[in-house]
């Protein structure tokens, strides 16, 4: 497989959104007293396992994000093998409505990253992540921040492998989802 990551216009969000972000939740990190990042968290089996699909669960997929936020400072990065879309990322900066940016204009946010289920664990996510870092560097941004949840163990392990630091854990960030905790990651660009 020959993977090429390209920058596409925001108008590509509908095509981008056709790649599912769904994943199966079988394990979760248990949030308790934390001193050593992921090493200080315990893994717990989730029984029964379930599928988490943010696009479906929230009722607003990528093609609708422009209605909620001003995404004029955002970019779509898409991974292809020839003409086959394998995945991509949405990255942005200078968007006051996004809390993870803390009102700072020197931070990027990796808002979304997804890889087609049939292509996961093949290095495509790493290629997309490196492209997101390059996108931030090209805009002279100092760091990139990322949100995930304690139920997305694969994503947490992926960000740790990419060199991201777990900078914040918010156990009560999602009042309607008391079993989910928000994890905030950061990496210098």
Q: What is the pTM of this model?
A: 0.90
Domains observed in the chain: 4-188 (3.40.630.30)
Phi/psi at 122 (5° precision)? -125, 15
Condensed to tens digits (0 to 9), the pLDDT of residues 111-128 reads 999 999 888 889 999 999
Phi/psi at 179 (5° precision)? -85, -5
Residue from 8, 5, 9 nearest 81 by CA: 5
Distance (Å, whole) CA 37 – CA 4: 33
H-assigned helices in 105-152: 124-138
Condensed to tens digits (0 to 9), the pLDDT of residues 50-59 reads 999 878 776 6
66 CA to centre of own chain: 17
């Amino acid at each position: 497989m020959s993977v090429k990551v390209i920058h596409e216009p925001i108008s590509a969000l509908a095509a981008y959104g056709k790649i599912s972000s769904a994943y199966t939740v079988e394990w979760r990190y248990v949030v308790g007293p934390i001193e050593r990042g992921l090493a200080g968290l315990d893994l717990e089996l989730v029984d029964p396992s379930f599928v988490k699909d943010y696009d479906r669960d929230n009722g607003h997929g990528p093609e609708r994000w422009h209605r909620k936020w001003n995404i004029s400072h955002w970019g779509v990065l898409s991974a292809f093998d020839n003409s086959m879309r394998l995945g991509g990322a949405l990255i942005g900066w200078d968007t006051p409505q996004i809390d993870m940016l803390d009102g700072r204009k020197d931070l990027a946010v990796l808002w979304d990253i997804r890889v087609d289920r049939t292509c996961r664990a093949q290095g495509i996510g790493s290629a997309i992540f490196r492209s997101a870092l390059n996108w931030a560097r090209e805009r002279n941004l100092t760091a990139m921040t990322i949100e995930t949840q304690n139920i997305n163990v694969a994503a947490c392990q992926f960000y740790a492998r990419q060199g991201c630091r777990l900078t914040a854990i918010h156990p009560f960030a999602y009042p309607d989802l008391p079993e989910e905790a928000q994890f905030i990651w950061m990496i210098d660009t």
